[in-house]
Amino acid sequence: MANCAFLGLGVMGGPMARHLAEKGHDVTVWNRTPAKAAAWAKSHGKGQAVDSAREAVHTADFVFMCLGDDPDVEAVYADIESDLKRGSILVDHTTGSASLARRLYDQRRARAGQFLDAPVSGGQAGAENGQLTVMVGGDPDAFALAEPVMRAYSKQITLIGPSGQGQLAKSVNQICIAGVVQGVAEGLLFARANGLIEAKVIEAISAGAALSWQMQSRWKTMVEGKFDFGFAVDWMRKDLRIALDAARTSGASTPITALIDQFYADIQSEGHGRWDTSSLISRLNRK
């Protein structure tokens, strides 16, 4: 069993840390709101909470981060860098930029440590159920050591390539999801506008090539105008910003993604940034 620190106990990090503890790993948790870390330790009866990120990491062989955005990762890393154990592996599950991942990789290597960028997909339900998909960038030797530990909360873990490529793969994931959600939204609106019963249409087309997780899992709540499930618009816009920045840097053409990003901006402007990503249909339902 591994000696682990987990930094960041949000809707994703909290369940991920719980799975580590339940699998028998020694887990020390930290959150920027100390009360949340204390509540985590009390509710699970396993692991320990500390008030300082530096205290959490100094004996850990594996340090996991699940934070909000690049500035959060940079701030936490700056705080813990000098306290990270020599030879420890820092695994960043935050969805962030490939450029930051490469910088942190270089900084860890300079201090005889290792770094993996390892963003996840699967949303809150995937975290709760231990069924996340993990896309990893970094060295194979570090991956080989960290992968068995990450199995505690994952159904699939793939080493994509060198440092930064895990983050780039996550951008591919978000680009694909955005396009699929918009397609489902437009299809449902088309069905309604033409007098079709949505449930019958979904029954018919979900047996064919149109099937997707988004269609299967979200069509009914989309029709009902319920958007309190899954990944929030605010976070999707953050992820699409990262993806579009990387697209501009690499010269990749992503016109549909850029358009859908603006659709999500419209939803935010109406005060619905905490709605889930399937709320794209709300724009189409405007009178």
Helices (H), the chain: 13-22, 34-44, 53-57, 70-80, 98-110, 123-129, 140-150, 165-193, 198-205, 213-224, 233-250, 255-269, 280-284
For the question of residue 36 being annotated catalytic, the response is no
The answer to whether residues 154 and 126 touch, using CB atoms and an 8 Å cutoff, is: no
CA dihedral angle for residue 186, residue 192, residue 196, residue 199, rounded to 10 degrees: 70
d(CA 251, CA 36): 42
**Identified catalytic residue from 155, 170, 226, 238:** 170
Rounded distance between C-alpha atoms, residue 183 and residue 189, angstroms: 10
Contacts of 254 (CB under 8 A, 6+ apart): 175, 243, 244, 247
Which residues lie below 8 Å from residue 261, measured CB to CB, with a gap of 6+? 178, 237, 240, 241, 244
Residue 184 corresponds to which tokens in the numbers above?
């489902």
Residue 121 three-state SS: strand
The single-letter code of the amino acid at 104 is L
- Give the C-alpha separation, 110 to 118, whole Å: 20
In whole angstroms, how large is the CA radius of gyration of the chain? 20
Nearest to 254 by CA among 184, 179, 163: 179
As annotated, the active-site residues are 170
